[in-house]
Structure 1
Amino acid sequence: MKTGQFDEIKSRLKGSVAPIITPFQEDDSLDLETLRDLINWHIESGSHGISVTGTTGEPSSLTLQEREQVMETAIQSVAGRVPVVPGTGSTNHQETLHLTKRAQEMGADAAMVIVPYYNKPSQHALYNHFKAVAQSVDIPLIVYNIPGRTGVNLEVNTLARLKEDCPNIIGVKESNKDFEHVNRVLLNCGRDFLLFSGIELLCYPMLAIGGKGYISATANVLPGKVAEVYNAWEAGNIEEAMQLHYEMMPLNDVLFRDTNPAPLKAALGMMGKIKPRLRLPMDLPSDSIQEEIRTVLNSYGLLNKVGSEMQ
């Protein structure tokens, strides 16, 4: 891999990379037509990139073939308008290799590879896992660190080693509430390393320390507003970015009253965007939480707007 090989995609990967939900039909089969509609809505609303089959896309509820179908549908639907970064990680090393290679073959701009969940590997094992994945492809990788769901934290020193030894590991999505940790990522990996927030309330603060953007589940509901936080920051309108940050906090809060993406799918169902279906063992939130979601959506005027009018 040549030095500077990934400079072009690094310059394009920024702002709000929306992690799209995976829509299902009433019989729980994939609803790829709705997925295409959602992707077009996101791009028209200003999302700077598209990600599928990450946590919000319920990858553990999909078969390997279905994950490939969702990735291919997304890449074809985007058609180069914005970067596409599918999630290709798994708790299984060989599946991760397969999906990451398939993402490259399909034309993905980069792949996002999660820390393997359930296994709780050591830092040494994590290094070997990510290094093997990186060496198996020629596309850039975004490491995905979400210790609350994987049971293990990818330590800064491990990430720095990977960045040094694998030129195509160009960034990290940190769904990590430890803000000291994320500060040290840039200190140890360098300011050119792409740092994305996966914690909604840290999307704006992450920009202030040198983050490149965020991969926020809330973008599924308010893609335009979520993108505007970055646009305002990049334009130097700090007060506007801060105002948008606080404006969205009630929505951020209610969308995590239950495990993501259950509240999101309930919300999108209320908005008429999808059939609100999850596959077991995931399910929709309780009636009381759904009523709370409805109240918050109504306060944002989201229940009175449908289709392309919604920003």
Structure 2
Amino acid sequence: MSQNLKKLLRGSICPVITPFKESGEIDFIKMSELIEWQIESGSHGISVTGTSGEPSSLTTEERLLVMENAIKTVNGRVPVLPATGSTNHDETMYLTKKAEEMGATAAMVIVPYYNRPNQAALYKHFKTVADSVDIPIIIYNIPGRTAVNLEVDTIARLYKDCGNIVGAKESNKDFEHINRVLKACGPDFLLFSGIELLCYPMLTIGGIGSISATANVAPSLVAEMHNRWFEGNHEAALELHYKLMDLNDVLFRDTNPAPVKAALGMMGKIHPKLRMPMDLPEENLQVTIKKTLEEYKLI
């Protein structure tokens, strides 16, 4: 793997939410504003249409429009990693090819959700997708959402057999699994944390960064934690890790991205609309979110 890619794909990659108008239509103006704010706040990259972007509530055409809008808005200033996976293999192939055509830096491909393929089937799925494009692929392993874990041996085999599979986003609370992935794949494997309380610990064992929903709300704090780590100021990075903990906790008291959208609405960044079957948190949690935002001086 090119060392240039390792320098490029690192730090805080914000998984930007998909803002909707009150009518439920995608608000592309707000999306561009959010991306500009992320870049101004120091985020090291942008991802769209991942879990935080409510991809299962978007049509395939809408996902393409969101990807296109993000790539055009960023305009080469930071890496863009659209999430192109779905429960449907052909759709995953199509979206990943389109991401490559649009000029995305890399594509993030989730373990297919709901289907629960076995490990051999998962290997075949990812290899077929990777072989169809030249764009770098980041595997997205999130067993809490997909109901199946991509096992260490399968990840290592894919990394060995597919030159453009370069890393993984691990939204996996099993820290032993994460250690074993890094040991099996080696120091050049780009491992991103998708679990907020593991963002700092993963850096300490060889991770490269995080793709954290909290960056939607506090982009400068999340980016700063990574910057301090990369500078070698590990004590300051650890301090920021603990400083972020209360915010991380409240943003995951309900299913992501409901609390994040509620928070961004309170901050005046978006209309806090989710598409059904998702909805905003109940009133008592919204009160707690507002109080937490005030404590962090975000409103």
Task: Measure, in 2, the Cα distance between the counterparts of 1:141 and 1:11.
Answer: 16
Aligned residue for 1:76?
72
Task: Measure, in 2, the Cα distance between the counterparts of 1:245 and 1:100.
Answer: 33
Cα shift at 1:301: 1.0
Cα shift at 1:302: 1.1
1:43-62 correspondence to structure 2 within 5 Å: 43-62=39-58
1:19 aligns to 2:15 (yes or no)? yes
1:168 aligns to 2:177 (yes or no)? no
- Could you state the TM-score of these two structures normalised by the residue count of structure 2? 0.99
Cα shift at 1:129: 0.1
AA in 2 matched with 1:130: F
Cα shift at 1:7: 4.0
Aligned residue for 1:306?
none
Q: Which consecutive aligned stretches of 4+ in structure 1 deviate over 4 angstroms post-superposition?
A: none
AA in 1 matched with 2:191: L
Aligned residue for 1:309?
none
Aligned residue for 1:271?
267
Task: Measure, in 2, the Cα distance between the counterparts of 1:258 and 1:230.
Answer: 26
Paired residue secondary structure (1:301) = coil
Q: Residues 218-251 of structure 1, C-alpha deviation per residue, up to 9 Å, x if partnerless?
A: 0000000000011000111111001000001000
Task: Measure, in 2, the Cα distance between the counterparts of 1:97 and 1:11.
Answer: 27
1:246 aligns to 2:253 (yes or no)? no
Task: Measure, in 1, the Cα distance between the counterparts of 2:237 and 2:219.
Answer: 15
Paired residue secondary structure (1:116) = coil
Paired residue secondary structure (1:302) = coil
Contact 1:100/1:111 (<8 A) preserved: yes
Aligned residue for 1:178?
174
Contact 1:85/1:110 (<8 A) preserved: yes
Contact 1:89/1:112 (<8 A) preserved: yes
Paired residue secondary structure (1:43) = helix
Aligned residue for 1:103?
99
Contact 1:49/1:83 (<8 A) preserved: yes
Aligned residue for 2:296?
300
Task: Measure, in 2, the Cα distance between the counterparts of 1:9 and 1:25.
Answer: 36
- Structure 2: state its 5+ residue gaps: none
Contact 1:156/1:181 (<8 A) preserved: yes
Cα shift at 1:139: 0.4
Paired residue secondary structure (1:266) = helix
Aligned length in residues: 299
Contact 1:196/1:214 (<8 A) preserved: yes
1:222-241 correspondence to structure 2 within 5 Å: 222-241=218-237
The correspondence for 1:144, drawn from 102, 124, 140, is 140
1:205-224 correspondence to structure 2 within 5 Å: 205-224=201-220
Paired residue secondary structure (1:86) = coil
- Could you state the TM-score of these two structures normalised by the residue count of structure 1? 0.95
Cα shift at 1:9: 2.6
Q: Residues 118-174 of structure 1, C-alpha deviation per residue, up to 9 Å, x if partnerless?
A: 000000000000000000101000000000000000000000000000000000000
Contact 1:9/1:109 (<8 A) preserved: no
Q: Residues 172-221 of structure 1, C-alpha deviation per residue, up to 9 Å, x if partnerless?
A: 00000000000011100111000000000000000000000000000000
AA in 1 matched with 2:122: L
Cα shift at 1:11: 2.1
Contact 1:173/1:215 (<8 A) preserved: yes
Task: Measure, in 1, the Cα distance between the counterparts of 2:163 and 2:183.
Answer: 18
- Structure 1: state its 5+ residue gaps: 304-311
Task: Measure, in 2, the Cα distance between the counterparts of 1:100 and 1:41.
Answer: 26
Paired residue secondary structure (1:290) = helix
Task: Measure, in 1, the Cα distance between the counterparts of 2:107 and 2:28.
Answer: 20
Q: CA-atom RMSD, angstroms?
A: 0.6
Task: Measure, in 1, the Cα distance between the counterparts of 2:198 and 2:6.
Answer: 21
Contact 1:91/1:117 (<8 A) preserved: yes
Aligned residue for 1:128?
124
Task: Measure, in 2, the Cα distance between the counterparts of 1:167 and 1:183.
Answer: 22
Paired residue secondary structure (1:89) = coil
1:41 aligns to 2:37 (yes or no)? yes
